[in-house]
Amino acid sequence: MIDVEKLYSFKPSFGFFSWQLMYPEKLDFHPAFLEESFDVDHPGYSYVHTYWSLMQELSMDEIQELYTETFDFEKDCALYMTYFKFEDAKERGQMLAKLKMLYELFGLQMPEGELPDYLPLMCEFFYAAEWRRDPRVPENFRVPMVILEDGTYHLLNALEKRKSPYFHLVKGLRETLKACVRQEAAAQ
């Protein structure tokens, strides 16, 4: 079960994750951006700060090169969350259609030429869509949460093998998602 209020309280951090997972621009690394997105009690705080510290040691050219080498040239580091499980199978198309309908249900238009399972777009959805107090959220958000859990698991493992700074960012995202899932009491 999704803790909708907790998920909503993390909206700024989902914006941060989205922007950090897109092609890097200089403004993405302004210190205020990090400070506005996370407080010390945030479940992803320590991982995101490790990522941030590692990225601060690099020039913008090095960050852009790292991003391109990691996400554009490494098949196992794809930012498309259903790719790991389904690759190009029919089931992937069904999952993509469900995500697109979900985005539209909550008022977001898909960017032209982008797939709905693109990790920055999925984070952007949690950040930008207005879904608080919508009774459809618990049922409808299961699909993206499961897709993110599965896709980021594979991505995290690939990033860890490469000792990539992005490992810490994705780990912070996973900790954030995990904090938004309420464990159901076991049936007696």
Q: From the CB of residue 42, how many other CB atoms can be counted at a distance below 10 Å?
A: 20
pLDDT of 188 over the 60 cut: no
Helices (H) and strands (E) in the chain, counts: 11, 0
Task: Report whether 165 contacts 129 (CB < 8 A).
Answer: no
What confidence tens digit (pLDDT) does each residue in 6-41 have?
999 999 999 999 999 999 999 899 889 999 999 999
What confidence tens digit (pLDDT) does each residue in 58-105 have?
999 999 999 999 999 988 999 999 988 876 677 888 999 999 999 999
Confidence band of 184 (pLDDT split at 50, 70, 90): low
**pLDDT for the residue numbered 102:** 94
What confidence tens digit (pLDDT) does each residue in 112-168 have?
889 999 999 999 999 999 888 888 888 889 999 999 999 999 999 999 999 999 999
Residue 88 exposure: Cα atoms within 13 Å on the Cβ side: 0
pTM, 2 dp: 0.92
Size of the chain in residues: 188
Confidence band of 186 (pLDDT split at 50, 70, 90): very low
**pLDDT for the residue numbered 79:** 97
